[in-house]
Amino acid sequence: QALVVREMMARKGVSDPELDARLSARLLGQKRVDEALSLGESGDGPMTNPGFEVDFAHGPFDWRFSRQGAGWKIERVAGIAREGGHSLSVAFDGKKNVSFAHLSRILPVKPGVSYQLTYWWKGKDLSTDQGPFFEVYSHDAKGLHAKGPMLLGTHDWEKVSIEFTTPEGCHAVVVRLRRVPSRKLDNLMGGTVW
């Protein structure tokens, strides 16, 4: 019903970007990716705001994250970047064996196509045997889960790629930064990843 009302508004030249974003997010939550994209998001071209240079629009296809949780904090920082002037930092306080999956975004894709996700990251004093890593999985189909390497210790900016092919019926993937808890005695996660 909301799509019918939205179509009537468009015919009359009435626009409401906030309403479109909320409706698009609702459709995306129901795995209706094509309809969510029809509300103004572009399904073509590269990822928007990949280097966190602009503040977040909080749209359905933008980065999703909680600012803080037990043992970690996320913030957009100025002055630390491989290119441009900003990056996003995830700082772990070293007091918990953190299970982290609180930074992600949904990206439109085409079914049966090979993709390569390339990113730059760096880390400082990342402890334990289980560090953060990026993973890609299907938002609206089964059969896709790819992950990159973990980042441990201290490293300057490093380029990493994850290659994957979308399964049939897949119109969107989730890109997520993750850390799984360690099973070692020395398991408290500390350090920062940008």
Which pLDDT score, from 0 to 100, does residue 75 have? 95
Per-residue pLDDT tens over the stretch 80-130: 999 999 999 999 999 999 999 999 999 999 999 999 999 999 999 999 999
User: Cα angle at 114 between 24 and 30, to 5 degrees?
Assistant: 25
Q: Residues 6 or more apart from 129 whose CB is under 8 A from it? A: 152, 182, 184
Which pLDDT score, from 0 to 100, does residue 44 have? 46
Which pLDDT score, from 0 to 100, does residue 164 have? 98
Overall average pLDDT of the 30-51 stretch: 70
Task: Report the percentage of the chain scoring pLDDT > 70.
Answer: 93
Q: Is 52 left (phi over 0), alpha (psi -120 to 50) or beta?
A: left
State the Cα–Cα distance between residues 165 and 138, nearest whole angstrom.
Answer: 10
The answer, yes or no, to whether residue 6 has pLDDT greater than 70, is yes
Q: pTM (2 decimals)?
A: 0.83
Q: State residue 54 phi and psi, 5-degree precision.
A: -115, 155
Per-residue pLDDT tens over the stretch 63-83: 888 889 999 999 999 999 999
42 pLDDT band (50/70/90 cuts)? very low
41 pLDDT band (50/70/90 cuts)? low
Average pLDDT, the chain: 89
Distances (CA, A) of 127 to 24, 66, 80, 153: 39, 22, 21, 6
Task: Report the percentage of the chain scoring pLDDT > 90.
Answer: 65
Which pLDDT score, from 0 to 100, does residue 56 have? 75
